[in-house]
Structure formats: C-alpha cells, structure tokens
Structure 1
Amino acid sequence: MSIRTLHFLTPGNFADDDPYAGLEATLQLFEYGERLGFDGAWIRQRHLEHGVGSAAVFLAAAGQRTSRVQLGTAVIPIGYESPFRLAEDLSLADVLSQGRLQVGFSAGTPPHADLIGDLVFDGDWRSFDLSYHRIARLRDNLRGEFIGGPDTVIQSPGNVQRPRLQPYSKGLVDRLWYGGGSLRSVRWAASAGLNFLAGNIVSGEGTDDFVAAQLAHIREYRAAVGRPARIAVGRVVVPLDSADPATRRRYLAYAESRRERTLKPHGERRTLFAPDVIGTSAEIVDRLRADAAVQEVDELRLELPYEFNRSEYEQILHDVVHSVAPALGWQRS
C-alpha cells in the first residue's frame, strides 16, 4: 500500500454561548494542518447542531487563512440546497481559494427534516425531488454552460454578456465527491462522474463484515466509473504516542464506548460501523496495513472524533504526520 494523499475531517464544534471561539479554533486547526503538511483539511456540514451549517461560507474563510491545503466538506446534504444558488456559493469560494475546494454531497431526506423542512422550503417539501438528481443539477450548473439561446444576453452597468453561473470556476466540477455507503450509491456516483468518499458507515449487503462490504463498494465503483477518479477512505485514527496519561485514558474510554456498535449490523439496512483505530503509532500502522479497504486506495482521510478539543486534535494530527503516515508511504508535500 502507498498513501499518497492525506486529509483530515473535523466536526467544527463550538459552544452554544460562544460560537466564534470554536469556529476560530477550527480555522486555526486548518492552518495547523497545512503547516504539518496535510494535503487536505475538511469540515463537516451540520444543521441544528453546534457545527458548521454552511460549508461554503466556512471554506471561503479557510481559503483566506491558508494557501496550499485542499479545502473539503463532507458532506453537504443536497436536500436542503438550491442546486443553482449553492453552485454560485461554491464557485465563489473556489475562486477565492484559487481552486482548492473539494465538495462532498449526500442525497435523500436530509437530517432533521421533520423539524426544519417547512422552514427551508416553500410548499410541501415531502413532494420535492431530494434524490441524486438534485446533485446532478448542481454538477451541471458548475459546468458553466451558457443559459438561454445563443442570442440571449443580459445587460449590467458597462457590460453586455451571455448569461451563465458567475463566477465560473473551471475545474470545480471535477472536484465533486459523493459519500456512498451502498452499492446503489457508488454505482450512481460512478455514473455521475463524481469522486467517491468511503467513510465509517456502510450498508451490509451480503456480508456482516465492514471491511468486506466497503471493499466491495470500492471495487464496484472502480469497475463502473470508466475513467480516472479519486477514492478516499475515512477512518477514525487516534494515536496515543504523545498524549499524556490522562488523555490516553480518555481516548481508550472513548473507543470502548463505541465498540459495541461495531459488533453487529443495525436496522433494516444492516448498517455496519468501522472500529476506531486507536493505539500506539506502530499498532495503528499494523491495523491500517491489514485493512483491505485502506490497502485498495491511495487517499486516506482521518475523521476526528466529535468529542475532543483543539489541543487533542492537534496532538492526533501531529502524531499521524510524524509517526503513522510515513510508514504507510505518505510523503509530506
């Protein structure tokens, strides 16, 4: 195996009574990750929670605080978004970052729709198309094709032009991702020309083994995509090396509290969860080398736990860059 591209994904937590402090700490974590040499820094988009509700706005700010690192989001629930207006926001943020955005999506009924669906939409949102097609519409908008016929123009002060999405950011359409957890979703991502995010949750289709299910998804995507495309695998990785004794105990207790969910499928979709990868750097390297899904790709994304603080995130990123990733073949940019 050889990991060529190393990313991290952070939840972007903040306190209810002081959101600025938490968001500023996350921006500083992006800066820190860039200094360490990470290839990508990603944010989760979360609604109604103490997290980033608009990834495009946050990444526009992150683009002004960094100069090299790729800026990603995993994932934007497309159900709440206008395919044209979101395309405008993402394109603007991409131009401001000089072409560094990596944008992940999910389809279907978005989280908390029963609470905010009526606040987001005019009309009965339950009858709206919240499917993959909504992502395809956004993708098509990002192509920058002209709107209207060949003679259609718009006028603005000092300018007459053919209308299209503005600003148009060439290349952004090739940096779209889909967070797929089923065979159906990975087939659609391949057919739509999106890159593939393989995370910590999958549907068990024909197997109760998480890695076997995810490996099948990766191979299905690769067989169906028919062109060079990126595949990134995500894992919760928590090195103990430079943590103090109290923090090590906290990390181990955290992992133990989540172990039960990894032991069996859940619900009608037989949802499977990946175990957290926690231990010394040497132990983590051994486990990742033995992970057949990780072996199958050259992009690894560290998924930082929701419950930790900035200093703990920095310790994790530091240990991964210095002790884990080089042993997997990664080289600092």
Structure 2
Amino acid sequence: MKKIGFLSFGHWSNSAHSATRSASDVLLQSIDLAVAAEELGVDGAYFRVHHFAQQLASPFPLLAAVGARTKRIEIGTGVIDMRYENPFYMAEDAGAADLISGGRLQLGISRGSPEQVIEGWRHFGYVPAGGESDADMGRRHGEVFFELLKGQGFARPNPRPMFPNPPGLLRLEPFSEGLRERIWWGSGADATAVWAAKKGMNLQSSTLKADESGEPFHVQQAKQIRAYRAAWQEAGHKREPRVSVSRSIFALVNDQDRAYFGRGDDSDQIGVIDNMRAVFGRSYAAEPDRLIEQLRADEGIAEADTLLLTVPNQLGVDYNAHVLESILTQVAPALGWR
C-alpha cells in the first residue's frame, strides 16, 4: 500500500491557454482541486513554494483554507524554502493551520531551490552568519523551527503581563501537538538525507538529485532512501519515518491525454543546478498497461511509502481531477498501491 497525493507548483500566466490567469485563480483552484481530490480518495494535497515567481508562494493561508474545506486529506508543502523563513513566526502559522485542519498538516521544508532573483532571501531580511552559506542558513532556520515544535517554554514571562501567564517559561502559541512528527526535509543529495534522518525528520526526495554515481535517477534515489532509513535506525528514533517521492505520471486514456502528453520525453535529463551536476527524473506518460510496467521498474517509487503526482495545474481543476482518477483507478491497483 502506498499513500498517493498530488503536488502543485501553482503556476499562473495571462495566456489564453491557461485556466489560471491570475494568483487568485491559482489559490481558489488549488482549494477546489484539494476538495475534488479528497472526494476521489487521494491521500494528500501538497503545494510548492517559490518566491518572486508567478507561482504559489505564501503557503499557510492556502493550507488553512484547504484544511477548513476538507476533512480527511493530508495537506502539505514540497517544499518551503527555509532561507526565507522566520522560524518563530512560522511555528505560529504552522500551529494555527494544523489546528484548523485537525492535525493533517505534512510540512515539507528545505534549503530551497534555485531562485528567480539574486539572493532573494536578503530582501526578506536574512543574511548568512559569518562562515555560513545560504544553504547553511536554511538548514539552521529549519533546525530552529523543528526545535520550537517541541512546545517547550523558552521565553521569560513579563512580571506585569496584560493577561495572566501560566507558570514557567512561555512557548509560542498556538501549539499543535504531534506536528513535529509531520515535518519532512526535502533532500537533493545523500548527505542531506542522512542529516534529516539523524534530526528525526521525514524525507521528501524530489524529481531531481545530485548526480553522485552516474546511475539512472530512480536507482540513485532508491539508494538515497535506503541510506536515510539506515541512518534513521542508527539514530534510534522510536517511530517509523515516512518517505515520499515525486513523479510526473500520466495515464493516456483519451484523445485529450494523448494530445497533452503523448509526445513526452521518457528519459532522465542531466543538468547543472546551483553549480551542481544533477540528474532529473523522467516523466511517465503511456497507456495504462504500458505505464504499469514502466512504474513497476522504478526503484525509487518502490522504496517510498508516499507518491506525490505533479499536476499540470494550468489545465484546470476538472482535467487534473481526471489525471488523478486515472492513476487511482487504472494504474494504482495493479501495482499494489491500492
């Protein structure tokens, strides 16, 4: 069995071919897609975070709205760029959104991806400390946030407060019990996956990673996940971790599917990202029988307990619901995911 969710980058463009012409369109349709996905039996609604781009950026209002409109589906991110985040304010936002959803938040955080602007985090007021890189700063912010979610008091109370305080040091409020176990680290390399395991975070492994062996993407990803699980066990954590992978997967079941995705590239791609040689995982688009065989050979998917399907959000809610339903009904059962 495998949890299956969708991952939306939340693109919009003022184009006649786009169903999302504005930020308002993207936000409202994201909520509608989460509702439709829940009705179909999808397990998770996840959203990407990109700053300075015509894409989803501020996750917590959206997550709270989705939480208020749904009852069962997991609600998450993949990922929040921690170089841009104040961990203290974020802990309050996350606690509130989790309480609104009834404890369904699954927050993916990381050091982030290549940016639209030069050192965009500086515009948000954040500068790496002496000797730090921006990636180091992102991990530091992530560690502080993760520590705050323990809910332990750390701030000295005012002896003459406006309202009565509980005894002892104060923590941030609202606090949501259990959220800390639902934090994921987005890793693009084996070393950061091991780091996340030692810290006690779940793992999100995306559609690209550092090319560390020259092997196919799915093989490298499977090795990364196995290294993560070994480090988790060695660290002695008491619970079982969760691991997700992301894929672009389309079952071609009608002429519209074939028109959109019937000519896709079915091989890994090699590129350079942040001065790092990276391997980008292939997309899958085929008739259901052929698709099942292709996915059965994907070692990365086999190692994960959660699969996030990247959706073409600019094609609209109805078409994306169709994409998800096709995978759930015509592909997932044959692979033992359902």
Amino acid at match of 1:159: P
Q: CA offsets, 1:107-145, max 9 Å, x none?
A: 1686235163342116x5585752422201000011110
Q: Which residue of 2 aligns with 1:116?
A: 120
Match of 1:198 among 186, 205, 216: 205
Contact 1:75 1:104 in 2 (8 A): yes
Q: Which residue of 1 aligns with 2:337?
A: 330
Q: SS of 1:294's equivalent? A: helix
Q: CA offsets, 1:171-213, max 9 Å, x none?
A: 0000000111111111111111110111110111122321221
Structure-2 change in CA distance of 1:272 and 1:154 (3 Å): farther
Count how many residue pairs are aligned between Structure 1 and Structure 2. 320
The alpha-carbon deviation at position 309 of structure 1 amounts to: 3.2
Aligned equivalents of 1:300, 1:154: Cα separation in 2: 50
Match of 1:57 among 45, 58, 61: 61
Matches within 5 A, 1:246-285: 246-253=256-263, 255-256=264-265, 262-264=268-270, 266=272, 269-285=276-292
Contact 2:6 2:309 in 1 (8 A): yes
Q: Which residue of 2 aligns with 1:235?
A: 247
Match of 1:174 among 161, 174, 181: 181
Unaligned 5+ residue runs, structure 1?
Answer: none
Q: Which moved more, 1:289-298 or 1:83-92?
A: 289-298
4+ residue runs of structure 1 moved beyond 6 angstroms? none
- TM-score normalised by structure 2 residue count: 0.87
Matches within 5 A, 1:1-333: 3-15=1-13, 18-107=22-111, 111-114=115-118, 116-121=120-125, 124=127, 130-148=137-155, 152=157, 157-161=162-166, 162=168, 163-226=170-233, 227=237, 228-241=240-253, 243=254, 245-253=255-263, 255-256=264-265, 262-264=268-270, 266=272, 269-305=276-312, 308-331=315-338
Aligned equivalents of 1:182, 1:118: Cα separation in 2: 25
Structure-2 change in CA distance of 1:177 and 1:284 (3 Å): same
Q: SS of 2:165's equivalent? A: strand
Q: SS of 2:327's equivalent? A: helix
Amino acid at match of 2:4: L
Q: CA offsets, 1:2-36, max 9 Å, x none?
A: x3311111122334663222321111000000000
Amino acid at match of 1:272: V
Aligned equivalents of 2:55, 2:112: Cα separation in 1: 21
The alpha-carbon deviation at position 330 of structure 1 amounts to: 2.9
Unaligned 5+ residue runs, structure 2?
Answer: 15-20
- TM-score normalised by structure 1 residue count: 0.88
The alpha-carbon deviation at position 272 of structure 1 amounts to: 0.3
Contact 1:252 1:278 in 2 (8 A): yes
Taking only aligned residues, the RMSD between alpha carbons, in angstroms, comes to 2.3
Q: Which moved more, 1:9-18 or 1:96-105?
A: 9-18
Percent of aligned positions that are identical: 29
Contact 2:60 2:94 in 1 (8 A): yes
Amino acid at match of 1:182: A
